Structure 1
Amino acid sequence: MSDISMHLWWLEKLENSFIFDLLIKSNELELDELTSCKIKNFKIIQDFCNDIISKHPNTIFESENFLSLPEDVLISIIIRDNLKLEEGKVWERVIQWGKAKNLTLTTNLTEWTSDNFLTLKGL
């Protein structure tokens, strides 16, 4: 069994939430070697994680770390065509993410003005 196959076998045995938390912590600690998609062998791991995200998006969208996702990571998730999650749930969480990033936004969406949505868009 190759090293990559062994690692993928090991990853498949882990809970999806653990893998997600591991990637979040790796990003926070700037461990590029664990999160980089530029390294050829990590492309296999990236594809594996993308498959988990597509099939089990609640692992991310319901995670306590969701609000700390970097913008580029969130965008890469929500643009996926094969995400198995209702669009309304995705947008609800994206708005919560945006409010967490900009505390000046009111929590009551019915009170939002067009400026509030522009602020959210500009994050």
Structure 2
Amino acid sequence: MYNIIEVGEQPNIQLFKGHSAILCQRSLYFRQKLVNAVKKNNIIEIKLPTISAKLFNIIIKNFEVSAKFDLLIAANELEATELVKHLQSKLINDNASWLRLNFSRVYQISFLNKSFEPLQQFCNNIITKYPGIIFNSDDFTTLQENALISLLKIDDLQMEESEIWDKVILWGKG
């Protein structure tokens, strides 16, 4: 079911369409609004006068990217090889900033299967320049063993070797 979301105030009102399932999954606010909403012709209308269209558009795009990433995981589980390749390419080429913002999750998932090698390479290129993004993350001690081994194989990490070994010991204790 689609929803009509009206954002902004007169004269700058803009209408957006959003699918209930995606909105509910990505936002507690929408989940609560949609449960109690009144349907007109099988459409739910939501008004958000305090949020600008520009900001709302950014939020909706991030919902879409997150859904695309979830689709990648599901496509991989279903062994839809061509779709997995296509989605990885789209995410890397069109949504690199989202991947960086969600780096820890993306990195962990990239090691679930060999079919995610392009995603692994994308992540390793970032780690080479900014190793702290993973070594200093709260999730570091939960890294899968193959992900840690991949990190250690990167020759030109911008990090002192003693720091790396301290992190490996921390990982081993975790």
TM bucket (normalised to shorter chain) is: 0.5 to 0.7
CA contact (8 A) 1:23 1:35 kept: no
Structure 2 residue runs without a partner (length 5+): 1-85
Q: For residue 140 of structure 2, what is the amino acid of its counterpart?
A: F
RMSD over aligned Cα atoms: 2.5
In the superposition, the TM-score normalised over structure 1's length comes to: 0.59
Deviations 1:30-88 (A, max 9, x none): xxxx8422x3xx43222211111211110110010001112221111112102111111
CA contact (8 A) 2:91 2:99 kept: no
CA contact (8 A) 2:107 2:120 kept: no
Q: For residue 168 of structure 2, what is the amino acid of its counterpart?
A: V
Structure 1 residue runs without a partner (length 5+): 28-33, 101-123
Aligned match of 2:47: none
Aligned match of 1:62: 136
Aligned match of 2:91: 7
- Larger proportion of strand: 2
- Larger proportion of helix: 1
In the superposition, the TM-score normalised over structure 2's length comes to: 0.44
Aligned match of 1:114: none
Aligned match of 1:36: 113
Task: Considering Cα pairs closer than 8 Å and 6+ residues apart, tell me whether 1 or 2 has the greater RCO.
Answer: 1
* Cα drift, residue 23 of structure 1: 3.6
Residue correspondences, number:
89
Q: Does 1:51 align with 2:135?
A: no
Q: Secondary structure at the match of 1:14?
A: helix
Change in 2 beyond 3 A, CA 1:35/1:10: farther
Q: For residue 69 of structure 1, what is the amino acid of its counterpart?
A: L
Change in 2 beyond 3 A, CA 1:58/1:17: farther
CA contact (8 A) 2:131 2:158 kept: yes
Work out the percentage of aligned pairs sharing the same amino acid: 33
Alpha-carbon distance in 2 for matches of 1:73, 1:50: 10
Alpha-carbon distance in 1 for matches of 2:121, 2:164: 21
